[in-house]
């Protein structure tokens, strides 16, 4: 069978296979994960030495003879949107002499210098092994308990055991990993103890996830906190290697969310996320000491890499500066970065300075260095660059706005060395046209069919937004539009826009969706569509479709329900259809508590809009989705049926919120295009 783009995208796991990732730096050594080819999903552990030599330390395929992936690891990968297999994460000791990892639930340690891999003893499948700073012990989770293995004796013992079936130790709770981007639940301290999260989900409501295609299988109980309901109880402990432990107590009623842990800095959030408490862990007294409390009339942002303390004990953080509408880097509350530079993450804090990610224009990202008095860009503007940094060494990951490809470069002082990517090159040639549309200068991209001659024909339009908080689709990276270019090559013009609520334009822009995730978000898509048509007259606004996934799926369905005069067909994948059924932290951050804001929830619900449907609508949902539960699509379908509104539902058996299965991923894209082609017409 000949290779097509949908098949290629599916087989390469969206071009993640063969791509170097998960970089870690020790001195001048850079460790990373990479499979052996563009269709090989199995991640192996590699190291690049100071001279640029790349050595494969661990072949995960040679370790897959036995062992099962535990359900906790499957859930962890779902939260992280992990699409590969083999080694998906690893940890290093302080000196970079040993690394710990797991393959198929079996924990291992590799001697980085000798290249020797040792399997560690465990009574059950292991999750998230973490090696101690001195390289003497490895902690991991098994069966909800935290265990530690002494590498000298090769004996593992249980440190923290769950008191009942709904308690677990050492893993991040659902809200932290799904909504706060914290995917760890245990950390080694500098004095050789363990900082451990415990989670009690016994008070969280149960939602049953079943697979109607396999009725012989028992439904799975999923503790899922819908908006306005009870969250899991989260606690933090200091644990000695002999099993003695002490709770790091705080007012968990006032601050129920454990948002982040960076070294000795702990960030806590109130239920409405308008209050944040930053604390320091005092190792001598085994206590949590409050340092600073912050407040925001909308919500306090959780920024990657902060808060943390520098070597002098000063608090490094990123805060919202209302006066300049800027996310600014601060040290003990004194601003270090200028107005207009939106700080997105802090990568490294050392005596030499602070390395951070930031942007001055939406859609781009640069690496900056701040020495306390001066901020300078380390990478060029006009593209997307991310990085990992440790002292004088960093790894830059850079994309080009006009052509495919990602460059991976290790910077050691003045020396620059590339890391080879084995990822396949997409079978398309994206040609994104970047523009600003409307009075708000909305970041917009237009893609036309390859070889299209202006004025030669009118093109039906597919609008392809995400449109929600925390994710920008319009980025200066041509590779981000490979799938969109394929859609365009089927005879469409594709329009993508980032409206109010999306990141990259400052705090006020993101907060414009407070108490309203519907009207302004949709209005911006209409504005961008009309602006794109002004710039490209071949766009046929009498034939406009829209498709999206997750928040984008919500927006797609909303579009044909609220603006059938603009949008003539929609494909909504895994849409939230009533925000009362989505999780606490995300929903309450933007819409408040359901009991206190019933009108807000009604105004953003698709269920109450069901009688309005007059346009073709395809609803797609994975029946195993534990993030946006399948009830969203099924309830909307029921409401549409009750109102006598025709629509199509495509259920995906055994599929979660994203689709790593090759056959499903390939045919799903084809099904979407067939639906849009049938209702819009395309050559």
Query: What was the pLDDT predicted at 2?
Result: 67
578 in a structural domain = yes
pLDDT, average across residues 528-554: 98
476 in a structural domain = yes
Three-state DSSP string of 167-221: EEECCCCHHHHHHCCCCCCEEECCCCCEEEEEEECCCCCEEEECCCCCCCCCCEE
How far is the C-alpha of 117 from the C-alpha of 57, rounded, in Å?
8
Q: How do residues 321-335 score in pLDDT, each as one tens digit?
A: 999 999 999 999 999
What one-character-per-residue DSSP string does 641-670 give?
A: HHTT---EEEEETT--SS---HHHHHHHHH
Q: Tell the residue number behind the tokens 């925001």, with chain if given.
A: 296
Rounded (5°) CA angle 508-510-511:
65
Picking from 206, 223, 240, the residue at the C-terminal end of a domain is 240
State the pLDDT confidence band at 372, using cuts at 50, 70 and 90. confident
Lowest pLDDT segment from 127-141, 548-562, 646-660? 646-660
262 in a structural domain = no
| CATH number of the domain bearing residue 643 | 3.40.50.1820
- 3-class SS of residue 527: helix
Picking from 215, 240, 265, the residue at the C-terminal end of a domain is 240
Residue 67 has pLDDT above 60, yes or no: no
- 3-class SS of residue 523: helix
Asked if 577 and 635 count as a contact pair (C-beta separation under 8 A), the reply is: yes
How far is the C-alpha of 501 from the C-alpha of 499, rounded, in Å?
6
627 in a structural domain = yes
Query: What was the pLDDT predicted at 427?
Result: 96
Residue 66 has pLDDT above 80, yes or no: no
Residues 6 or more apart whose CB falls under 8 angstroms from that of 53 comprise: none
365 in a structural domain = no
Residue 299 has pLDDT above 60, yes or no: yes
Residue 84 has pLDDT above 90, yes or no: no
State the pLDDT confidence band at 76, using cuts at 50, 70 and 90. confident
- 3-class SS of residue 638: helix
| CATH number of the domain bearing residue 117 | 2.140.10.30
Lowest pLDDT segment from 74-83, 329-338, 357-366, 553-562? 74-83
More confident residue, 258 or 654: 258
- Give the structural domain span for 120: 59-240
DSSP code for 61: G
Picking from 182, 216, 240, the residue at the C-terminal end of a domain is 240
pTM of the entire predicted model: 0.95
pLDDT, average across residues 353-361: 97
Residue 122 has pLDDT above 60, yes or no: yes
Asked if 331 and 313 count as a contact pair (C-beta separation under 8 A), the reply is: no
State the pLDDT confidence band at 666, using cuts at 50, 70 and 90. confident
356 in a structural domain = no
* CB-CB neighbours of 661 under 10 Å: 16
378 in a structural domain = no
Residue 72 has pLDDT above 90, yes or no: no
Q: What is the mean pLDDT of the chain?
A: 95
pLDDT cut 90: percent of the chain above it: 90
Number of folded domains that form the chain: 2
Residues 6 or more apart whose CB falls under 8 angstroms from that of 572 comprise: 547, 548, 553, 554, 556, 557, 617, 618, 619, 620, 633
- State both tokens at 325: 């509408």
pLDDT, average across residues 640-654: 96
- State both tokens at 406: 């990602």
207 in a structural domain = yes
pLDDT, average across residues 20-34: 96
Q: How do residues 601-617 score in pLDDT, each as one tens digit?
A: 999 999 999 999 999 99
How far is the C-alpha of 47 from the C-alpha of 115, rounded, in Å?
10
Q: How do residues 566-588 score in pLDDT, each as one tens digit?
A: 999 999 999 999 999 999 999 99
Asked if 281 and 264 count as a contact pair (C-beta separation under 8 A), the reply is: yes
**Helix orientation angle between 519-535 and 551-562, rounded to the nearest 10 degrees:** 80
pLDDT cut 70: percent of the chain above it: 98
């Amino acid at each position: 069978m000949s290779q097509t783009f949908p098949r290629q995208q599916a087989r390469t796991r969206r071009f993640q296979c063969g791509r170097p990732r998960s970089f870690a730096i020790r001195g001048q050594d850079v460790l990373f994960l990479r499979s052996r080819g563009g269709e090989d999903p199995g991640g192996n552990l590699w190291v690049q030495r100071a001279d640029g030599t790349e050595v494969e330390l661990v072949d995960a395929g040679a370790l897959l003879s036995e062992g099962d992936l535990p359900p906790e690891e499957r859930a962890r990968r779902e939260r992280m949107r992990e699409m590969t297999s083999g080694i998906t994460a690893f940890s290093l000791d302080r000196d970079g002499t040993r690394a710990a990892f797991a393959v198929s639930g079996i924990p291992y340690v590799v001697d980085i210098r000798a290249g020797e891999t040792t399997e560690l003893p465990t009574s059950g499948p292991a999750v998230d092994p973490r090696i101690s700073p001195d390289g003497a012990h490895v902690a991991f989770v098994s069966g909800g308990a935290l265990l530690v293995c002494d590498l000298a004796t090769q004996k593992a013992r249980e440190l923290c055991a769950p008191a009942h079936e709904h308690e677990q130790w050492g893993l991040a709770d659902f809200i932290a990993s799904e909504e706060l981007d914290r995917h760890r639940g245990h950390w080694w301290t500098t004095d050789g103890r363990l900082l451990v999260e415990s989670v009690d989900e016994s008070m969280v409501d149960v939602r049953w996830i079943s697979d109607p295609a396999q009725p012989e299988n028992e439904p799975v109980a999923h503790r899922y906190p819908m908006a306005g309901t009870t969250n899991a109880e989260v606690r933090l402990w200091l644990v000695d290697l002999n099993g003695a432990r002490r709770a790091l107590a705080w007012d968990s009623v006032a601050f129920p969310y454990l948002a982040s842990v960076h070294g000795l800095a702990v960030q806590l959030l109130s239920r409405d996320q308008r209050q944040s408490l930053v604390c320091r862990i005092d190792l001598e007294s085994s206590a949590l000491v409050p340092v600073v409390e912050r407040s925001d009339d909308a919500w306090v942002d959780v920024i990657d890499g902060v808060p943390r303390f520098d070597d002098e004990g000063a608090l490094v953080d990123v805060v919202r500066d209302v006066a300049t509408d800027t996310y600014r880097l601060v040290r003990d509350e004194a601003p270090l970065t200028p107005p207009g530079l939106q700080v997105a993450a802090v990568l490294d804090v050392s005596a030499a300075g602070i390395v951070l990610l930031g942007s001055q224009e939406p859609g781009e990202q640069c690496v900056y260095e701040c020495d306390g008095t001066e901020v300078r860009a380390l990478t060029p503007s006009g593209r997307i660059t991310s990085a990992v940094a440790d002292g004088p060494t960093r790894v830059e990951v850079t994309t080009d706005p006009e052509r495919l490809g990602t460059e991976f470069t290790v910077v050691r002082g003045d020396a620059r060395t590339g890391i080879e990517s084995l990822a396949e090159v997409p079978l398309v040639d994206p040609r994104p046209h970047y523009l600003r549309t409307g009075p708000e200068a909305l970041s917009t991209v237009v893609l036309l069919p390859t070889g299209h001659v202006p004025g030669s024909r009118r093109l039906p339009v597919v609008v392809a937004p995400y449109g929600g908080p925390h994710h920008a689709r319009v980025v200066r990276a041509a590779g981000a539009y490979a799938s969109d270019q394929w859609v365009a090559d089927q005879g469409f013009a594709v329009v993508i826009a980032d409206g109010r609520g999306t990141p990259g334009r400052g705090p006020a822009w993101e907060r414009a969706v407070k108490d309203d995730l519907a009207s302004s978000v949709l209005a911006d898509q209409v504005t961008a569509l009309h602006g794109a048509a002004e710039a490209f007259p071949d766009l046929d606004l009498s034939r406009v479709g829209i498709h999206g996934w997750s928040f984008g799926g919500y927006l797609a369905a909303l579009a044909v329900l609220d603006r059938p005069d603009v949008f003539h067909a929609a494909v909504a994948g895994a849409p939230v259809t009533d925000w009362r059924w989505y999780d606490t932290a995300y929903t309450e951050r933007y819409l408040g508590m359901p009991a206190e804001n019933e009108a807000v929830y009604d105004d953003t619900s698709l269920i109450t809009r069901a009688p309005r449907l007059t346009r073709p609508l395809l609803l797609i949902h994975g029946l195993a989705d534990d993030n946006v539960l399948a009830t969203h699509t099924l309830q909307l379908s029921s409401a549409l049926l009750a109102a006598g509104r025709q629509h199509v539902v495509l259920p995906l058996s055994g599929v979660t919120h994203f689709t790593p299965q090759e056959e499903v991923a390939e045919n799903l894209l084809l099904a979407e295009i067939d639906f849009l082609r049938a209702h819009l017409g395309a050559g």
